[in-house]
């Protein structure tokens, strides 16, 4: 039986020390500590790890952390939404996003050509520069061939980048597939449409890519899911695990609640009713801001795995 223990500050305490104490504090701190342990289990038991996140996570500074996790061998499959890819490319080509305020005057921001994502600001000119960049990239892709599955296209784009903190770059370098079933849901989709107006035989095949994600794993392979937020990225991964026998491990980070009936609020236990997560799986659902909760849980896991020499050396 586990009992509540008082949290204590110790001089020089590490993230690992903090999360270890969380096991005995109560409420979401216990679930966060459990999430860290499940992440360690999925890696130690050689599960194929699906990391899923929505585009706002890439808007934030977590984008470079995701790239680092790929280098460390902590993500075998990435599933995200198109905004995360656009903004990864923007940052890779020198764009800087601004930390602003949640209560900013949005009408004034619009007049200044600034778009707000929570308390982060993106200038219109960043999208204009993205347009200048992506046009020639699509021309290169078309010259190579005229039909692309989404993940194949994203790998090719990643190979064109040169940024250690880029998810696309690191995924291409380490042969980690990136799936984006909502590839048209943003600026990228608009530019794909515009390119196709002049090249009507240019095809980006989303259905083909659904087959690709299904065959990225199998019934026999252990599977783990780490999902930040919900949306199509989370569901695309757990649908894949459903069709391949279910995941043995699952960790969700979300600010939504199960009472909404939404994908964002759906817990790891709810996933068991669908067979997306196995009945006897190790799971945790952390309710809280992923920009805080995820780094805490993952750093604890990385410390544990590094101690057992289970991480790839960065740069390899």
Please choose, from the candidates 181, 177, 167, the residue with its C-alpha nearest in 3D space to the C-alpha of residue 50. 177
Alpha helices in the chain (DSSP H): 15-22, 28-44, 55-59, 62-71, 82-92, 106-111, 124-144, 150-160, 167-173, 187-198, 206-214, 231-242, 268-274, 290-307
Q: Is residue 99 part of a domain?
A: no
Q: Strand 223-228's sheet: what is its strand order?
A: 178-179, 77-80, 48-53, 223-228, 247-254, 277-287
Residue 276 located in a structural domain? yes
Domain count, the chain: 1
CA distance 186 to 232: 14
Domain assignment of residue 191, yes or no: yes
Per-residue pLDDT of the chain (316 residues; tens, 9 = 90+): 889 999 999 999 999 999 999 999 999 999 999 999 999 999 999 999 999 999 999 999 999 999 999 999 999 999 999 999 999 999 999 999 999 999 999 999 999 999 999 999 999 999 999 999 999 999 999 999 999 999 999 999 999 999 999 999 999 999 999 999 999 999 999 999 999 999 999 999 999 999 999 999 999 999 999 999 998 999 999 999 999 999 999 999 999 988 888 888 888 889 999 999 999 889 999 999 999 999 999 999 999 999 999 999 876 5
- How far apart are alpha carbons 223 and 42 in whole angstroms? 8
Inside any domain, residue 7: no
Residue 22 has a pLDDT of 97
265 domain-assigned = yes
Please name every residue paired with 86 in a beta bridge, in sequence order, or none if there are none: none
pLDDT reported for residue 316: 52
Q: Per the structure block, which two tokens stand in for 86?
A: 């656009």
Q: Find out whether 300 and 16 touch, Cβ atoms under 8 Å.
A: yes
Q: What is the DSSP string of 123-145?
A: EHHHHHHHHHHHHHHHHHHHHH-
| Position 1 in a domain | no
Domain CATH number, residue 58: 3.40.910.10
Three-state SS for 46?
A: coil
Pairing of strands 178-179, 203-205: unpaired
Cβ count near 304 (within 10 Å): 18
CA distances from residue 92 to 19, 129, 210 in whole angstroms, order as listed: 32, 12, 27
CA distance 91 to 86: 9
Domain range holding 219?
37-94+144-297
pLDDT at 262 (0 to 100): 86
pTM of the model: 0.95
Tell me which of 276, 307, 309, 313 is the catalytic residue.
276
| Residue 120 forms part of a structural domain | no
Spatial distance between the Cα atoms of 179 and 119, rounded to a whole number of angstroms: 27
Q: Residue 261 in 3-state DSSP?
A: coil
The backbone torsions φ and ψ at residue 255, rounded to the nearest 5 degrees and listed phi first, read: -100, -5
Is 276 labeled as catalytic in the residue annotation? yes
| Residue 117 maps to a domain | no
């Amino acid at each position: 039986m586990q009992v509540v223990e008082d949290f204590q500050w110790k001089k020089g305490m590490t993230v690992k020390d903090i999360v270890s104490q969380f096991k005995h504090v109560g409420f979401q701190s216990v679930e966060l500590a459990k999430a860290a342990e499940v992440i360690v289990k999925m890696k130690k038991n050689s599960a194929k790890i699906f990391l899923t996140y929505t585009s706002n996570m890439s808007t934030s500074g977590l984008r470079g952390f995701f790239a680092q996790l790929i280098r460390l061998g902590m993500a075998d499959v990435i599933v995200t939404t198109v905004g995360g890819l656009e903004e990864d490319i923007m940052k890779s080509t020198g764009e800087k996003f601004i930390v602003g305020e949640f209560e900013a005057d949005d009408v004034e921001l619009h007049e200044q050509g600034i778009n707000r994502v929570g308390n982060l600001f993106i200038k219109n000119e960043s999208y204009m520069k993205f347009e200048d960049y992506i046009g020639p990239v699509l021309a290169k892709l078309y010259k190579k061939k005229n039909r692309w599955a989404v993940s194949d296209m994203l790998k090719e784009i990643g190979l064109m980048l040169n940024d250690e903190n880029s998810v696309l770059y690191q995924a291409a370098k380490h042969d980690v597939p990136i799936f984006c079933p909502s590839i048209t849901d943003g600026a990228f989709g608009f530019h794909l449409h515009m390119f196709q107006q002049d090249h009507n035989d240019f095809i980006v095949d989303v259905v083909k890519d659904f087959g690709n994600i299904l065959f990225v794993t199998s019934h026999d392979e252990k599977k783990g899911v780490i999902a930040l937020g919900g949306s199509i990225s989370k569901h695309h991964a757990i649908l894949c695990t459903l069709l391949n026998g279910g995941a043995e491990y699952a960790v969700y980070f979300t600010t939504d609640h199960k009472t909404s009936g939404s994908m964002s609020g759906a817990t790891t236990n709810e996933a068991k009713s669908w067979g997306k997560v196995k009945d006897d799986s190790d799971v945790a659902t952390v309710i809280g801001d992923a920009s805080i909760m995820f780094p805490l849980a993952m750093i604890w896991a990385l410390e544990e795995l590094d101690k057992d020499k289970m991480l790839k050396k960065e740069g390899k």
